[in-house]
Structure 1
Amino acid sequence: MLDKFKIDKKLLRQLDYSIIIICVIIVLFSCINVYSATFRSLGIYYAKLQFTWLILGLVVIYIILLIDYSMIGNFASIIYWAGIILLALNDFVLGSTHKGATGWIGIGSRAIQPSEFAKLGMIIMLARLLDDMEGKVNEPKNFFKLAFYSILPMVLIVIQPDMGMTMVTFFIALGIFYVAGLNMRVILGGLAGIFALIVVIWNSPLMKTYWKGRLLSFISPEAHGQGLSFQLNQSLMGIGSGKILGEGFTKGLQIAGNNVPEAHTDFIFSVVGEEWGLIGALVLLFLYGLLLYKFIKIAKNSKDLFGSIVVVGVISTFLFSIFQNIGMTIGLMPITGITLPLMSYGGSSILTSFMAIGLVLNVGMRRKKINF
Structure 2
Amino acid sequence: MIPFKLRSHLKGDRHIWAILLALSIISIFVVYSSISALAYRKTGGNTEFYLLKHGFFIIFGLFVTFVIHKLDFTQYSGIAHVFLWFTPILILYTLIFGISVGGARRWVSVLGFSFQTSDFVRLVLITNLSAMLARRQHIEYKVSDLWTMIIWCGVTIGLLSISSFSTSVILGITCFLIMWIGRVPSKYLWKMVLVLFGGLTLVLALGLIVKRATGTELGRVQTVIDRTEVFINSDMDGDGLVGGETGSSSDQKDFALIAIAHGGFLGVGPGNSAQKNVLPDAFSDFIFSIIIEEYGILGAMVVMGLYIWLLYRGVKNVDNTHRAFGGLLTIGLTLSIVLQAFAHMFINVGLGPVTGQTLPMISMGGTSALFTSVAIGIVLSVSKNTSPNE
The correspondence of residues 6-17 of structure 1 with structure 2, limited to 5 A, is 15-17=12-14
Q: 1:232 aligns with which of 234, 253, 256?
A: 253
Q: 1:62 corresponds to which residue?
A: 66
Deviation at 1:334, TM superposition (A): 1.9
Q: Confirm whether residue 34 of structure 1 aligns to residue 36 of structure 2.
A: no
SS in 2 for 1:203: helix
The correspondence of residues 269-284 of structure 1 with structure 2, limited to 5 A, is 269-284=288-303
Whichever residue aligns with residue 219 of structure 1, its letter is I
Deviation at 1:99, TM superposition (A): 2.6
Taking a change above 3 Å as real, the CA distance of residues 305 and 226 of structure 1, as seen in their structure-2 partners, is same
Whichever residue aligns with residue 67 of structure 1, its letter is L
User: CA deviation digits over 1:340-364, x for unaligned, max 9?
Assistant: 1111111122111111111111111
Q: Confirm whether residue 319 of structure 1 aligns to residue 338 of structure 2.
A: yes
Deviation at 1:65, TM superposition (A): 2.3
Q: 2:367 corresponds to which residue?
A: 348
Q: Confirm whether residue 251 of structure 1 aligns to residue 253 of structure 2.
A: no
Structure 2 contact 150–192 (Cα < 8 Å) conserved: no
Whichever residue aligns with residue 175 of structure 2, its letter is A
Q: Confirm whether residue 120 of structure 1 aligns to residue 123 of structure 2.
A: yes
Q: Confirm whether residue 294 of structure 1 aligns to residue 307 of structure 2.
A: no
Whichever residue aligns with residue 80 of structure 2, its letter is A
Deviation at 1:13, TM superposition (A): 8.0
C-alpha distance in structure 1 between counterparts of 2:253 and 2:12, whole Å: 41
C-alpha distance in structure 1 between counterparts of 2:380 and 2:169, whole Å: 25
Structure 1 contact 130–136 (Cα < 8 Å) conserved: no
C-alpha distance in structure 2 between counterparts of 1:244 and 1:270, whole Å: 13
SS in 2 for 1:186: helix
C-alpha distance in structure 2 between counterparts of 1:69 and 1:110, whole Å: 25
Q: 1:52 aligns with which of 53, 56, 63?
A: 56
Whichever residue aligns with residue 114 of structure 2, its letter is A
Structure 2 contact 158–200 (Cα < 8 Å) conserved: no
Q: 1:191 aligns with which of 193, 196, 202?
A: 193
C-alpha distance in structure 1 between counterparts of 2:91 and 2:140, whole Å: 27
Q: Confirm whether residue 168 of structure 1 aligns to residue 165 of structure 2.
A: no
Structure 2 contact 340–360 (Cα < 8 Å) conserved: yes
Taking a change above 3 Å as real, the CA distance of residues 367 and 319 of structure 1, as seen in their structure-2 partners, is same
SS in 2 for 1:103: strand
Identity %: 26
Question: TM-score by structure 2 length?
Answer: 0.83
C-alpha distance in structure 2 between counterparts of 1:137 and 1:340, whole Å: 39
User: CA deviation digits over 1:74-96, x for unaligned, max 9?
Assistant: 32312434555543432233x11
C-alpha distance in structure 1 between counterparts of 2:252 and 2:358, whole Å: 15
The correspondence of residues 207-226 of structure 1 with structure 2, limited to 5 A, is 208-220=221-233
User: CA deviation digits over 1:21-63, x for unaligned, max 9?
Assistant: 2112212211211111113541123332222111111221222
Per mean C-alpha deviation after superposition, the further-off stretch among 242-251 and 43-52 is: 43-52
Taking a change above 3 Å as real, the CA distance of residues 81 and 64 of structure 1, as seen in their structure-2 partners, is farther
C-alpha distance in structure 2 between counterparts of 1:210 and 1:76, whole Å: 32
C-alpha distance in structure 1 between counterparts of 2:37 and 2:253, whole Å: 22
Per mean C-alpha deviation after superposition, the further-off stretch among 78-87 and 139-148 is: 78-87
Structure 2 contact 361–369 (Cα < 8 Å) conserved: yes
Taking a change above 3 Å as real, the CA distance of residues 193 and 148 of structure 1, as seen in their structure-2 partners, is closer
C-alpha distance in structure 2 between counterparts of 1:234 and 1:135, whole Å: 53
Deviation at 1:243, TM superposition (A): 0.2
SS in 2 for 1:249: coil
Structure 2 contact 310–334 (Cα < 8 Å) conserved: no
Question: TM-score by structure 1 length?
Answer: 0.87
Taking a change above 3 Å as real, the CA distance of residues 193 and 146 of structure 1, as seen in their structure-2 partners, is closer
Q: 1:24 aligns with which of 21, 33, 38?
A: 21
Structure 1 contact 58–354 (Cα < 8 Å) conserved: yes
C-alpha distance in structure 1 between counterparts of 2:195 and 2:80, whole Å: 28
Per mean C-alpha deviation after superposition, the further-off stretch among 73-82 and 269-278 is: 73-82
User: CA deviation digits over 1:279-326, x for unaligned, max 9?
Assistant: 110111111111111111112211111001101211220232122111
C-alpha distance in structure 2 between counterparts of 1:86 and 1:194, whole Å: 20
Deviation at 1:109, TM superposition (A): 8.5
Whichever residue aligns with residue 247 of structure 1, its letter is V
Whichever residue aligns with residue 66 of structure 1, its letter is K
4+ aligned runs moved over 6 Å, structure 1: 107-110, 223-226
Taking a change above 3 Å as real, the CA distance of residues 150 and 244 of structure 1, as seen in their structure-2 partners, is same
User: CA deviation digits over 1:237-294, x for unaligned, max 9?
Assistant: 1111100111111211211xx2211111111101101111101101111111111111
Q: 1:150 aligns with which of 153, 156, 172?
A: 153
RMSD over equivalenced CA pairs, Å: 2.8
Give aligned pairs, total.
Answer: 357
Structure 2 contact 87–121 (Cα < 8 Å) conserved: yes
User: CA deviation digits over 1:118-169, x for unaligned, max 9?
Assistant: 211111111121222336685311111111322232133123x211221122
Structure 2 contact 62–373 (Cα < 8 Å) conserved: yes
Taking a change above 3 Å as real, the CA distance of residues 173 and 138 of structure 1, as seen in their structure-2 partners, is same
Taking a change above 3 Å as real, the CA distance of residues 63 and 84 of structure 1, as seen in their structure-2 partners, is farther
